[in-house]
Structure 1
Amino acid sequence: MIPNDTPWAGLEVGKVDTRRVSASARWNWFWAVMPRADVALVLQLAELPKPTPDLPKLRNLEIRFQTLPGGPILYIRLKDNAQLELFETLCRDVMAAGELAETEAEALERAIGRTFRWHYLLRGGKLEVLSEEAQKGLIGEIEVLKLLIDRRGAKPALTAWTGPSGAPKDFELEADCIEVKARRGASQPFVKISNEHQLADVPDRRLWLAVLAVDKVQPPHGRTLTEHVSEVTELLERTEPSAIMEWDLHLADAGYDVLHDYSAWRWIVSAPHFHAVTEDFPRISAPVPLGVSSVSYSLALSACNPFRADWDDVLENLIEEVQP
């Protein structure tokens, strides 16, 4: 039974029935009821995109293209009506994103990208918020990611961001790797190296250590983790909405859930200091003696100072990478 206070109220159950969302909308959005009484949002298209883009595969949603007598559509169907209120919010958010588009192709891209952003909302996320240490680490990686987005563009930068997937290095580019360490500015001048692989050489790639101060402060100073994430999300929405899917999947891998409340923690962040990890750099790296593994140690920043490099130095190498 479809509640009367939803936009699907009054649509006939037992067959496909639709109602246009708004006559003033730029694109052809419809509220719909599918044959099994599942509610849906439909975007009617002039033609199917070529090639057909990948669509999210979510537990409680079905997202598909379909060709009907009246033309092709994209539909988003809710498979669990217990989440009807949340689904209505998703639909309105997807439409709001699509309505910002100047072309149908862009509207479709924005709609799909925004649906990926909601994948946690309708599948259930992590049970616990990230710890303070995990928040600091994620904020540090986001700061370096922003630098790479500015230089390389969103999609190449996100492809290079391997830290959330558990890779030994936080960023892996064509000829460079970057390991990121976030520390308290007022703490002892050391950074924690978690294992022997983090500063190990990578064949045919330069290795950089980026160190940032990430400090917890009291309101109204600083920003929450949610605000740091939102800054990048808004940047992608303006400049490269097709990259939002990959951004969301990286955040999910890092344990970030949009439903969690991070308002209790506010952070200020320094600019990253880069260090060239060369042959003489102080480190314990693989291979370690047989039978020894998971070697963690503290690295004194004073010992790293001779290897300091400006972002311009790192950038010069990145420029070389993209030159034909």
Structure 2
Amino acid sequence: MIPTNTPWSGLEAGKVDTRRVSASARWNWFWAVMPRADVALVLQLSDLPNPAPELPKLRNLEIRFQTLPGGPILYVRLKDSAQLELFETLCRDVMAAGELAETEAEALERAIGRTFRWHYLLRGGKSEALSEESQKGLIGEIEVLKLLMSVLGPKPALTAWTGPSGAPKDFELKGDCIEVKARRGASQPFIKITNEFQLAEVPGRRLWLGVLAVDKVQPPHGRTLTEQIKEVTDMLEQSEPSAILEWDLHLADAGFDILHDYSAWRWIVSPPDFHIVTDDFPRIAAPIPLGLSSVSYSLALSACAPFRADWCALQTNLIEAEKL
């Protein structure tokens, strides 16, 4: 039974029944009830996208393209009626994002990207916010990601960001790999290398170590992790909304949930210092003696100083490698 105080009240179950959301909306949004009495949001399209974009796969939502007698649609269907109130919030947020688009194709991209942003809401995210150390690490990687976006563009930079997926290096590009370490600015001048693979050579690629200070501060100084992430999201929405989907997936892999409250932590970030990792760079790297594994150690920044390289040098290498 659909509650009367929802947008779906009055729609008939047992068939696909729809009601236009608003006559003044830029795009063709409809509230819908599907044959099994599941509520849905529908975006009517002029044409199906070709190729079809990847769609979110969520436990309590079904998101699909379908061709009906009246034309193709994208629909988002709720499979768990207990989540109805949250689902209505999701639908209105998805429509708000789509309404910012100038073309139907962009509206579709924005709708899909915003649905990905809600992936934790209806499938069940992590019960706890990221720890302080995890927040620092994620902020450090995002700072380097922003630099790469400025050089390569959002999509290539996001494709190169492999840290959240558990890869040995935080960024893997055509000719270069980058390992990022975030530290407290006032801490001892060491960084923690957590395994023998982080600074191991990658055949055919240069390896760089990026080190930056991420310090916790008191309000009103600094920004929260959520604010740091919103900055990148807003930039993508304005410049390349089709990249939001990959951005959201990376954040999910990193354990970030938009529903968690990060207001208790505010951070300031220093520009990263980069080092080129060559044969004589101080490190313990694979292969290591048989029987040893998960080798962690502290690396003195003073020992890294002879290998310092400025961002311009790294940027030049990145651009040249991407051209090959």
- Normalised by the shorter chain, which TM-score bucket? over 0.9
Please tell me whether the aligned partners of residues 165 and 253 of structure 2 are also in contact (alpha carbons under 8 angstroms): yes
Aligned to 2:259: 259
Residue 53 of structure 1 corresponds to: 53
Structure 2 distance, partners of 1:182, 1:94, is 34
Matched, 1:319 2:308: no
Cα deviation code 1:57-108 (max 9, x no counterpart): 1111111111111111111110011101111111111111111111111111
* In structure 1, distance between residues paired with 2:53 and 2:272: 36
- Measure, in 1, the Cα distance between the counterparts of 2:240 and 2:58: 23
Report deviation, 1:242.
1.1
Query: 1:175 Cα deviation (Å)?
Result: 0.5
Shift in Å, 1:289: 1.0
Name 2:63's counterpart in structure 1: 63
SS at match of 2:209: strand
Residue type of the alignment partner of 2:247: W
1:306 aligns with 2:298: no
Aligned partner of 1:112 in structure 2 is 112
- Does the residue aligned with 1:120 lie in a helix, a strand or coil? helix
Matched ranges for 1:92-171 at <5 A: 92-171=92-171
Instruction: Quote the offset at 1:4 in angstroms.
Output: 1.4
| TM-aligned CA deviation for residue 20 of structure 1 | 0.5
SS where residue 119 of structure 2 aligns? coil
Map 1:222-233; keep pairs closer than 5 Å. 222-233=222-233
| Cα-to-partner distance string for 1:116-136 (whole Å, 9 max, x where unaligned) | 111111111012111111110
CA contact (8 A) 2:174 2:322 kept: no
RMSD: 0.9
Write the distance in 2 (CA, Å) between the matches of 1:296 and 1:154: 33
Letter of the 2:107 partner, please give it. A
Per the TM alignment, residue 155 of structure 1 is displaced from its structure 2 partner at its CA by 1.1
Distance 1:201 1:15 in 2: 60
Moved over 4 A (4+): none
**What whole-Å deviation, never above 9, does each CA across 1:162-189 have from its counterpart, x for those lacking one?**
1111111100000000000000000000
Measure, in 1, the Cα distance between the counterparts of 2:306 and 2:52: 52
Q: Equivalents in 2 of 1:109, 1:255: separation in Å?
A: 24
CA distance in 1, matches of 2:139, 2:182: 8
* Aligned-partner Cα distance in 1 for 2:272–2:310: 9
Q: State the distance in 1 between where 2:288 and 2:13 align.
A: 66
Matches of 2:171 and 2:61, distance apart in 1: 32
Partner of 2:291: 291
Letter aligned with residue 224 of structure 2: T
Counterpart residue number, 2:279: 279
Listed one character per residue, the Cα deviations across residues 250-269 of structure 1 (whole Å, up to 9, x for unaligned) are: 11111111111111111100
Shift of 1:322: 2.3
Q: How much does 1:55 deviate?
A: 1.3
TM-score by length of 1: 0.98
SS in 2 for 1:107: helix
* Separation in 1, partners of 2:310, 2:41: 50
1:20 aligns with 2:17: no
- Alignment-mate amino acid for residue 214 of structure 2: V
Correspondence for 2:248 = 248
User: 1:51 corresponds to which letter in structure 2?
Assistant: P
User: How many Å separate the matches in 2 of 1:105 and 1:246?
Assistant: 17
Q: Percent same amino acid among aligned pairs? A: 83
CA–CA separation in structure 1 for the residues paired with 2:197 and 2:69: 58
Give unmatched runs, 5+ long, in structure 1: none
Deviation for aligned residue 1:149: 0.8
SS of residue in 1 equivalent to 2:211? strand
More displaced, 135-144 or 95-104? 95-104
Partner SS for 1:122: helix
Superposed CA offset, 1:110-156 (max 9, x none): 11111111111111101211111111000000000000111111111
Partner of 2:194: 194
Secondary structure class of the residue paired with 2:30: strand
The equivalent of 2:234 in structure 1 is 234
Which consecutive unaligned segments of at least 5 residues does structure 2 have?
none
Displacement of 1:323 after TM fit? 2.3
